[in-house]
Amino acid sequence: MKSKQVLDAFSETLMQDERILSSQERELLMSLLQNAKEASSNPETQAAVTAAIARSVGETVSQRAFTLLGSSIVEQIVARGMASDIEEADPATIASGPGGPQPPSSPGPHSVPAPQPQKVPSGPQPPSISLRNQNVATGREVQQGSRSAAILDAPQIARARCVVLDEFLAPQEVEELIRYTLEHEAEFKNSEVISPSGETGVTDHSHRRSRVLTELGEHEQVILDRIRGVLPAVLEELGVEEFPVSRTEVQVTASNDGDFFHAHCDDAQELIASRRMTFVYFFHREPCQFEGGELRLHDRRKSGDQQVNAGSYETIVPRQNQIVFFPCSTLHEITPVRCRSRAFGESRFTVNGWLHQ
């Protein structure tokens, strides 16, 4: 693909996703393109300047898209580039290929359209909630820079899925939750894990490091009521059948400098096998003083009779007042947190929990 084609193919998706281009970067890019257009009335000059801009940002943008959104975005670009190459080719050459002329191919099973906002049923939640299904990397390998870009399909990959809701709590509720969390700092305990043998209450800092608070006071009921209000729409979006919630687990997790949680599933042991849905609600003091702590949802592929890590994943960057839902069987991890001050009040906070059937 030509560099300008890469920029054009990316533009529709990039201009709507701040994880790839920040608002400042988008404004700068649009300003450069506009100035290039106005600087000269010569189409060749405009094309040359635009191509130069594309070469400057194309590699960075491609890497961000592949890392943050998964290879499905890259596949769409490659597909568009290949389609463009075919249109430019001599029809006689195409017809002379093996099998003669071929009808247009339909999108592959992993061709995913950009997520569109959907309305959530009315209820106790604030009015500005949006429902977004996050689609994950497809597990294909894409070789760029060649007209015959190769895509290795991996049909046995089970892609992780999640639903993200923005502005989940009202501003006053967020402030009260932050205040409650800071006031109960002394009650936070070291996070524990369940050992492979099923033993509970195990502290394993090689696998997980953070602190948790299991008593949320009145905030637990507020959050659970809000979750019940959106749960039917969330399950429908994930393609999960509705189920009776027999019980819930809720806790506040504080992650500070160096804290993490290696890849795991939330229903992997018999003791917690009844867990069906995981939720992670992000909150922190403003301005945010930590980095990292990203939620990674891993794809899995079949290896014999087992499901193993496919090597591709979706990254959810912690954002204030945002909640993520995903099935408990999803392999996921929390990347290390960086907090220079190491002050408890500047930690990455989450209300995370599980809905049992």
For the chain, what is the mean pLDDT?
76
Contact 230, 120 (CB under 8 A): yes
- Contacts for 333 with CB less than 8 Å, ≥ 6 apart: 260, 261, 262, 263, 264, 295, 296, 298
**Angle, CA 80 vertex, CA 20 and CA 9 arms, to 5°:** 30
Q: Cα(6)–Cα(156) distance, rounded to whole angstroms?
A: 29
How is the chain split into domains, by residue range?
3-111, 162-356
CATH level 2 (architecture), domain 162-356: Sandwich (2.60)
pLDDT tens-place string over residues 295-320: 999 999 888 877 889 899 999 999 99
Contact 46, 97 (CB under 8 A): no
Per-residue pLDDT, 64: 59
pLDDT tens-place string over residues 6-61: 445 545 555 566 666 676 777 777 777 777 667 667 777 777 777 777 766 665 66
pLDDT tens-place string over residues 202-251: 888 899 999 999 999 999 999 999 999 999 999 999 999 999 999 999 99
pTM: 0.61
Average pLDDT over residues 342-348: 98
Confidence bin at 170 (pLDDT 50/70/90): very high
Per-residue pLDDT, 180: 98
